[in-house]
Structure 1
Amino acid sequence: MAGNPRNGRPYRRLVDWLRSQRLPCWLCGHNIGYDLDARHPLSFTLDHEVPLSRGGDLLDRSNARPAHRRCNSARGNRTSPQRPQQASRRW
């Protein structure tokens, strides 16, 4: 296969399918700014539940999840989402 598979039509169709559902971020649960510039930290990215570096399938719909760019980057290639820390009560 020549080139980057993320530039291919099947991957773009998967991204468009997931974007059309307008789901919240699967990592933090907050709404995603689907109309924001792609470089914005709260914009939509396609995240893979099982990271590609750990054997996840690039084009499998059951492996695709919507995420904020910031949440996706913070998760890295870990297999489970990092749970938000509960702030302690300050006195």
Structure 2
Amino acid sequence: MAENPRNGRPYRRLCTWLRAQRLPCWWCGHEIGYDLDARHPLSFTLDHLTPLSRGGDLLDPANARSAHRRCNSARGNRTTAQRPQRASRRW
């Protein structure tokens, strides 16, 4: 059975290094709740500048970014640095 590389020591070390910097979310720019439960939408996750599905390196610190869980999920595997524009509800 193949091992999940995200369960390995190098990946956990990269997460710890990035978490220690306490940076804001690179995607939306807001503060991250580093003390929140991992399942919370505003908690920390490691995001990759170049998505893994597009050839990004899992363990490269230059490819690692701090992100909210919801921002990381919403971004998917897009490579654009801009959030999608939301239409205003006011007309």
In the other structure, the counterpart of 2:4 is: 4
How many pairs align?
Answer: 91
Q: Secondary structure of 1:19's partner?
A: helix
1:32/1:68 contact within 8 Å kept = yes
Q: Secondary structure of 2:46's partner?
A: strand
Q: Displacement of 1:17 after TM fit?
A: 0.1
The alignment's C-alpha RMSD in Å is 1.9
Letter matched to residue 25 of structure 2: C
Work out the percentage of aligned pairs sharing the same amino acid.
Answer: 85
Taking structure 1 as the reference length, what is the TM-score of the superposition? 0.91
CA distance in 1: counterparts of 2:90 and 2:73, whole angstroms: 30
Q: Unaligned regions of 5+ residues in structure 2, if any?
A: none
CA distance in 2: counterparts of 1:79 and 1:64, whole angstroms: 13
Q: Unaligned regions of 5+ residues in structure 1, if any?
A: none
Taking structure 2 as the reference length, what is the TM-score of the superposition? 0.91
